[in-house]
Amino acid sequence: MLGIIFGLISMICFGLSNAISQGPSQKIGSIRSTYWRGLFMVLLLFPVFLFNVNSAVFLAEYILIALGIAVVGYFPLLSFFKALDLGKIGVVSPIANSSIIITVLFSIFFYGEKPSMMRLISIGIILLGIILITIDLKDIRNSRLFKKETGIFFAFVSMFLWGIVSALYKIPVTVIGPVLTSLVVEVGILACSTVSMLRKKKSFDLPDRSILTQVFLIAVFGSIAILSYNFGIERYNINLVASLVSASPLVATLYGKYVYNEEVTFIQWIAIFVIIAGIILLSVFH
């Protein structure tokens, strides 16, 4: 049951983080957004690490693995911001959020996890809901598939790499612990984004207050989300926790409706109930 609770907390916080992300990405660019997000996340996670330092296990091999995950994990994060910067969210989001397919396949073939038929059906229902809640047929008709300037190419990069990275987290998490893994990975992502800032000669000047506030909120929700995810996969199957986390577009859609008064279409309301049904089934048959 704790695995489901951690998964739901992570789902909500990832959803809120993603809902806020498009504004900063479009105003200051994907590279600067990634940098400031990473800096705030490290500053937030470090006190959590100090509080839990006695439970951490310091093994150089697994710390290096976590840093390797950070290097790989930086690229889907950057490509997602780039996709949002270039493309329409109705096309980009359903592709990127389909990474659960990659994660489940990875957990089956490399970790030997064997989800039951009902769990696979539940995951499929959640995935269907994700596609329905985020897809915009009009955007797809007007887009030129796989052209870099539409953002679709970058969305597929995010989908594939996020799926792999979500599965790889389990390796260091089960040895050095969820908190140290989260901190090391975010330090690595911050280092990668700093290098990108220097290579692209981007400004390190503080963004204006409104953008900085948004990026800080992205980091707050992102920190809670990654900690919850890692605590969840430490003791429970990845395909269970990751499936719940993948439903984060549900939160982003509801956030848009009640915070920005965005219209929720009939199809999206159906999708919301489909996702909730999938989550309930996953909870019953976990």
Rounded CA-CA distance 47/34 in Å is 21
Residue 65 CA to chain centroid, in angstroms? 19
Q: What is the reported pLDDT for 184?
A: 95
CA dihedral of 235, 236, 241, 243, whole degrees rounded to 10: 160
Between residues 4 and 64, which one has the greater pLDDT?
64
The answer, yes or no, to whether residue 126 has pLDDT greater than 60, is: yes
Q: How many CB atoms lie within 10 A of CB 58?
A: 10
Q: How confident is the model at residue 149 (pLDDT cuts 50, 70, 90)?
A: low
Digit-coded pLDDT (tens) for 152-186: 788 888 889 989 998 999 999 999 999 999 999 99
Q: Tokens 């577009």, residue?
A: 249
Confidence of residue 74 (pLDDT cuts 50, 70, 90): confident
Domain boundaries, the chain: 2-284
The pLDDT of residue 256 is 76
Confidence of residue 88 (pLDDT cuts 50, 70, 90): low
pLDDT at position 57 is 87
Average pLDDT on 39-51 reads 96
What is the structure's pLDDT at 281?
A: 80
Task: State the pLDDT at residue 142.
Answer: 54
Is 230 a residue whose pLDDT tops 80? yes
Note the pLDDT tens digit of each residue in 187-225. Answer: 999 999 999 999 989 999 999 999 999 999 999 999 999
- Give yes or no for residue 136 having a pLDDT over 70: no
The vertex-254 CA angle with 244 and 232, nearest 5°, equals 20
| Residue, of 79 and 84, whose pLDDT is higher | 79
Q: What is the pLDDT of residue 146?
A: 47
The whole-number pLDDT of residue 135 equals 66
Q: Is the confidence at residue 50, as pLDDT, over 90?
A: yes
- The H or E element containing residue 223 is helix 209-235
Does 13 score more than 90 pLDDT?
yes
Axis-axis angle for helices 30-51, 178-199 (nearest 10): 150
Average pLDDT along the chain: 84
Distance, CA of 199 to CA of 192 (rounded, Å): 11
